[in-house]
Chains A and B, each alone.
Chain A
Amino acid sequence: MTTDQPEVSGAEIALENVTKRYPGQKAAAVDGLTLTIPAGEIVMFVGPSGCGKTTSLKMINRLIEPSSGTIRIGGQDVRQQGENELRRQVGYVIQGGSLFPHMTVAKNIALVPKLLGWDADRIEQRVVDLLDLVGLDPAKYRGRYPRELSGGQQQRVGVARGLAADPPVILMDEPFGAVDPITRQRLQDELLSIQRELRKTIVCVTHDIDEAIKLGDRILILREGAEVAQYDTPENVLAAPADDFVSDFVGSGSTLKQLSLARVSSIELADRPTAWVGESTGEVVARAEAEGHDAVVVLDDRGRPLGWPWLRQLRGHDRVPSYDAEKLNTLDSRATLNDALDTMLTSSHGAAVVTGDRDQYLGVISFEAVTDHMRQLEREAAAHGE
């Protein structure tokens, strides 16, 4: 939608010949890794289990100390400051959110700002802003305890906690590994939309190549010993895998993989009739029928889609009722076509509602539009081959 790029708030991370050896172990877990992560980008670390991707990540915030080599964040050697000071300036998000069960949502988010000595009002405001940012109603969720939240909500709070002190760098370790596929896709979309606003430097470890293709500005594919197999944009990794290891790993070459690369935003969205909560159903139904549709997308007062009822479901009400947005599987415009197909499968409309920044309603993506796009890709690929 908007094309004006917000300012980059991230910092560059540079790893220089970083090695980690564990005592009593022949091969180094990470052997001479050199890497530059540009400010404001999402870089995904992928590779087979035991390749050293998590070790590499944890060396950035010194949860694991490198045996040799240098790591700089924004030009500054991470060893120049105390490890705790460093970690307070580097967001850390791990699987399941890892929230402290004895603290409320607000307290969890407030932890690092408190460690940094922020005053109470500022922390308070920050908690509210962050909950809003991750799509949780502050009034409703701030006082809740983690066990009162769903897995996806816990993970959202985990992300908010990682962002709390507004760190330039955020490290994520399999952040969405513990939730179901639909929720995972939503969380990924939300992360992309948050990143569109904040432009942090995000380093994220995953074992899921589709996730890496979807989220990453760049993908780092590692072999054993954290040897770089390829470090490039998702497009290039798919189009020109460096070697057999990479092409086996990403399963590139198939048109289906391209579905993970193409974004919903690259397809023209269809317009569907919309209705506001509280509108008179008579008018809504008349409007929709005039346009030849049998369903309407219901929006709340901030333009966020809540539900997608059939007209026959609406006819029972005088006014358009409110729906539980949790039950509507929406797609972020940055979601991949792969996600789009997944979401359509769970919908009875054979299409999916697409949202933009802060969950604003954008339009609807239909199954036909996706298949058309795929056919076009195939034709292009064939034309290339000839």
Chain B
Amino acid sequence: MASDTVTDVPARTSRLRSMPRGTVTMLVVPPVIVASVFLVYVVWRQTATLDSIEESQLAWPTVWKLLGEHVRLTVVSALAVVAIAVPAGVLLTRGRARIAAPLVVAVANTGQAAPSIGLIALLAMWRGYGFWTGVIALTLYGLLPVLRNTITGLQGVDPTLKEAGRGLGMSATGVLLRVELPLAGPVIMAGVRTSLVLVVGTAALATFIDAGGLGAIITTGISLLKVSLMVWGAVLIALLALLVEWLGRLLELFTRPKGV
């Protein structure tokens, strides 16, 4: 008995360590990093002597405006991604459409091999510059993770649970809404988080087609060879991306059904 308990000890501590600690780390560390680096930026911004270009590019109203554009691009595209990819994923796991699922995923995979900047450029040539072109490009780019995870998530639901649902007299839609989607939820949300990260990062390229966003600070920095602009533009984008990733994690946590 005594040695039984002892062999158990390392197992128990490692379980404590691996699973929850990793999750906790990823929920605590990123916001701390974001907050402290942003603080450094604020202090630098208030104390450094800036030349006129820096002054105008990093003026608070400008930064807020670019940030707002960046967030708008991200949010609108992410919503569009979810609105398209989740229903598409559901359709591709129903009835006869099921056989098309691997094909669609393969095509989407190939599409993902296209460089984001190329996609943005081509769309701009076809649809002209501007916010909505940016949204279309980002939406296209963000589709795959959600689509793929919706399909795998739904396919991963234990078929006996679906049958049990039908057995209780639920309609097919009832089973989908009350059994399948909640159970596939965590997988789908993981896809949404991946998409969010892709979209917020790619939105930095939107400036090339006048769709706005924080990328403008970097491009100005590069074309005028202003190191401060390159660095702080990059830092601000990175902070936003980390924040968005963190929000994705929170979303994942709160949409997880209890008991799963």
Contact = CB atoms under 8 A, between A and B. Distances in A.
A215 to B, nearest CB: 25
Interface size for chain A: under 10, 10 to 19, 20 to 34, or 35 or more residues?
10 to 19
A224 B6 contact: no
Contacts of A29: 3, 6
B159 to A, nearest CB: 26
A27 interface: yes
B51 interface: no
A322 interface: no
Contacts of A49: 4
B4 A26 contact: no
Contacts of A22: 3, 6
Contacts of A55: 3
B139 to A, nearest CB: 43
A25 interface: yes
Interface in A90-124: none
Contacts of A52: 3
Nearest to A48: B1
Interface size for chain B: under 10, 10 to 19, 20 to 34, or 35 or more residues?
under 10
Interface in B1-17: 1-4, 6-7, 9
- Dominant SS among interface residues on chain B: helix
B52 to A, nearest CB: 65
A9 to B, nearest CB: 34
Interface string A41-67: 000000001111001000000000000
Contact of B6 (A25, A51, A225): A25
B193 to A, nearest CB: 34
Interface string B207-225: 0000000000000000000
B240 to A, nearest CB: 44
Contacts of B2: 25-27, 50, 224-225
A29 B6 CA distance: 9
Contacts of B1: 50, 224
Interface string B1-43: 1111011010000000000000000000000000000000000
A53 to B, nearest CB: 10
A52 B4 CA distance: 10
Nearest to B7: A50
Contacts of B6: 22, 24-25, 29
A24 B4 CA distance: 14
Contacts of B7: 50
Nearest to A226: B3
A245 B222 CA distance: 83
A51 B2 CA distance: 9
8 contacts: A22-B3, A26-B2, A29-B3, A50-B2, A50-B7, A51-B3, A55-B3, A224-B2
Interface of B: 1-4, 6-7, 9
Interface of A: 22, 24-27, 29, 49-52, 55, 224-225
Given A26-B2, A50-B3, A52-B3, 9 more contacts: A25-B6, A27-B3, A29-B3, A50-B1, A50-B7, A55-B3, A224-B1, A224-B3, A225-B2
